[in-house]
């Protein structure tokens, strides 16, 4: 329990290299290891860049892991300067049914042939789809006590508490400016239907990034010709004919919380290096 708490503190304080360079983000599931590919983008990893993980130092990246990578653009190549392992859910399994499990109140869809049992602690890589997690890798962990939820926080209403997914967030004092639409990482004591928060931080890239390639599942329309990427707070727009199907796994470039269809001024090199045009639907 103490180990996870200390590791999270280290994650929040981890220094970044190349402070003066363009800072670009890549978020998604690992598709290749040598070279590292996330998602569909080849990333060079210098020997001195280590993966930051709530599971402890020395964690080897594996296929199916979810990573948030800060990269610099060097001669058109993407070069990692910071890598964070992202786990939407870390905690004890409460219930297991065919193909799914429940952890802290949230349903998670498991990869084929995954065997879990109630009471087992796991760290799940994957992406949010609505209030559920589509798991891409399961890691079994040895501790108990400190769990984690990571995703966008649904605001409390008169008849509904704060939540991430279907997990209730207990004891979290909202920031003065609110939780907003970004990703929050919350850690604390697991409860049957949620998490009692002891530590929380916003964002997965350590500090502001100039342009981000996001992978995630598309929402139903939230307004006319408007959708979101679940669990990220990213908003996209498209004509009705080009709206992504609800639940579809998509990849989009975003700037200041919105999907972009052309390079923002001054970010042309990053836009090209991320190959953002690949994910702009044709009219």
The whole-angstrom separation of Cα 178 and Cα 153 is 10
User: Tokens standing for 119?
Assistant: 């009471």
**Which of 19-33, 37-51, 128-142, 154-168 has the lowest average pLDDT?**
154-168
- In the chain, what percentage of residues exceed pLDDT 70? 90
Cis peptide before 35 (omega within 30 of 0): yes
Q: How many residues does the chain have?
A: 283
Segments in 158-257 forming alpha helices (H): none
Work out whether strand 249-255 and strand 258-259 pair parallel, antiparallel, or are unpaired.
antiparallel
4: pLDDT strictly greater than 70: no
Q: What is the pLDDT of residue 5?
A: 46
211: pLDDT strictly greater than 70: yes
Q: What is the pLDDT of residue 2?
A: 47
187: pLDDT strictly greater than 90: yes
Q: What is the mean pLDDT of residues 191-206?
A: 94
The whole-angstrom separation of Cα 178 and Cα 181 is 9
**Which of 5-19, 47-61, 104-118, 163-177 has the lowest average pLDDT?**
5-19
- In the chain, what percentage of residues exceed pLDDT 90? 74
18: pLDDT strictly greater than 50: no
pLDDT tens across 252-262, in order? 999 999 999 99
Contact call for residues 195 and 188 (beta carbons, < 8 A): yes
225: pLDDT strictly greater than 60: yes
The average confidence (pLDDT) of the chain is: 89
Q: What is the pLDDT of residue 168?
A: 95
| Local structure of 102: helix, strand or coil | strand
Contact call for residues 88 and 139 (beta carbons, < 8 A): no
* Per-residue confidence band for 275, with pLDDT thresholds at 50, 70 and 90: very high
- Of 21 and 208, the structure prediction assigns the larger pLDDT to 208
6: pLDDT strictly greater than 60: no
The residues, any chain, with a CB within 8 Å of residue 2's CB and separated by 6 or more, are none
pLDDT tens across 145-183, in order? 789 999 999 876 656 789 999 999 999 888 888 888 889
Q: What is the pLDDT of residue 154?
A: 85
User: Tokens standing for 199?
Assistant: 């530590």
Q: What is the pLDDT of residue 159?
A: 67
């Amino acid at each position: 329990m103490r180990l996870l708490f200390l590791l999270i503190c280290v994650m929040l304080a981890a220094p970044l290299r190349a402070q003066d360079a363009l800072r670009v983000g890549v978020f998604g599931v690992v598709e290749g290891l040598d070279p590292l590919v996330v998602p569909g983008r080849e990333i060079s990893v210098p020997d001195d860049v280590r993966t930051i993980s709530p599971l402890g130092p020395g964690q080897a990246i594996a296929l199916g892991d979810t990573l948030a990578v800060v990269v610099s653009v060097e001669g058109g190549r993407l070069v990692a300067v910071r890598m964070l392992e992202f786990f939407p859910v870390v905690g004890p399994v409460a219930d297991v049914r065919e193909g799914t499990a429940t952890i802290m109140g949230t349903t998670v869809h498991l990869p084929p042939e995954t065997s879990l049992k109630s009471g087992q602690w796991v760290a799940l890589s994957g992406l949010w789809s609505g209030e559920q997690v589509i798991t891409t890798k399961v890691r079994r962990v040895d501790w108990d006590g400190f769990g984690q939820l990571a995703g966008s926080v649904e605001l409390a209403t008169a008849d509904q508490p704060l939540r991430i997914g279907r997990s209730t967030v207990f004891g979290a004092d909202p920031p003065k400016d609110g939780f907003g639409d970004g990703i929050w990482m919350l850690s604390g004591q697991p409860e049957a239907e949620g998490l009692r928060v002891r530590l929380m931080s916003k964002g997965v890239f350590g500090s502001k990034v100039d342009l981000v390639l996001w992978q995630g599942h598309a929402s139903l329309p939230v307004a006319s010709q408007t959708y979101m990427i679940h669990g990220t707070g990213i908003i996209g727009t498209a004509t009705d004919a080009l709206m992504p199907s609800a639940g579809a796994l998509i990849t989009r470039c975003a700037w200041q919380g919105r999907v972009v269809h052309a390079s923002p001024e001054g970010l042309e090199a990053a836009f090209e290096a991320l190959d953002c045009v690949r994910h702009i639907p044709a009219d």
